[in-house]
A and B are shown apart, each in its own frame.
Chain A
Amino acid sequence: MTISKSIFVKRPVAATFEHFTADIGRWWPLKEGFSRGGERANEIILEGRVGGRFFERYTDGEESVIGRVTAFEPPARVVFTWRQATWNADTEVEVRFAGEGDGTRVTLEHRGWEALAEAARKSHDSYVRGWETILARFAA
């Protein structure tokens, strides 16, 4: 399961990468609901280095980390993790930038939903074993 998106931006690759990463707080639709903090969300920041944080800062100064940068390769590629507060595993977002005509093709993949599911399975092993016990008794 992967969410895949692609968009053409009529700007050079280097500028497009720069705007996507360093300027993320200037275009991210934080107030339109694509945020963790909702009304409280004031800023979104992507630190431009491997290990950097991807996080929201709320109006009261509190910070909420969404993920970490795992690859930072200007102007071609950035990868960061994405975890909701209640999830028990990371998903991953990869954004690629490639020259196309007089602009840049931006492709985005949000993947790793299986890891989320796998973590859920592990935490429910006892549940599965419980079922096995019940079925074994039923058979006897």
Chain B
Amino acid sequence: MARTAQRLARLDRTLLALADPTRRRLIERVGRGPVRATDLSRGLPMSRPAVAKHLRVLQGAGLVTAVPQGREVLYQRAENSSAIDEARAYLERMSSGWDQALAAFKRFAEAQEGE
């Protein structure tokens, strides 16, 4: 049970991370290879502290890791970034659950015609 709660808490963090378009762009960029925060902010219309804030959210969700290298910090895609797959899988399960429910509803409602 505690494990389920833990897993869902991580899912919440992942959903938060993915809810923001800027963070989705950052994940994409970081996924192409390790990159410095300075270089990340260069490609985006926002300040370096704003980028740093987004990166912290991504780190909290376990999607991005920061690796110190000399005086620099490199950001890279977390090796075990299954959190993102988990969130996607959850939303897909929910989505197919609704497909199933609506199909069952249609069958039921149309069969009530004679009532």
A residues with a Cβ closer than 8 A to B are 1, 3, 5, 7-11, 15-16, 19-20, 23, 26-29, 32-34, 84, 86-88, 106, 108, 110, 113-114, 116-121, 123-124, 127-128, 131-132
List of B residues within 8 angstroms of A127 by Cβ: 60
What CA separation (Å) do A86 and B8 show in the bound complex?
7
Smallest CB-CB separation from A84: which chain B residue? B8
Determine if A131 and B19 form an interchain contact, defined as CB atoms under 8 angstroms apart: no
What CA separation (Å) do A15 and B97 show in the bound complex?
23
List of B residues within 8 angstroms of A132 by Cβ: 56
- By size class, the interface of chain B is 20 to 34
List of B residues within 8 angstroms of A32 by Cβ: 100, 104
Contact of B50 with A by CB under 8 A: no
Which one, A15, A28, A108, A116, contacts B109 given CB within 8 A? A15
What CA separation (Å) do A32 and B19 show in the bound complex?
30
Contact of B95 with A by CB under 8 A: yes
List of A residues within 8 angstroms of B9 by Cβ: 86, 120, 123
Determine if B60 and A128 form an interchain contact, defined as CB atoms under 8 angstroms apart: yes
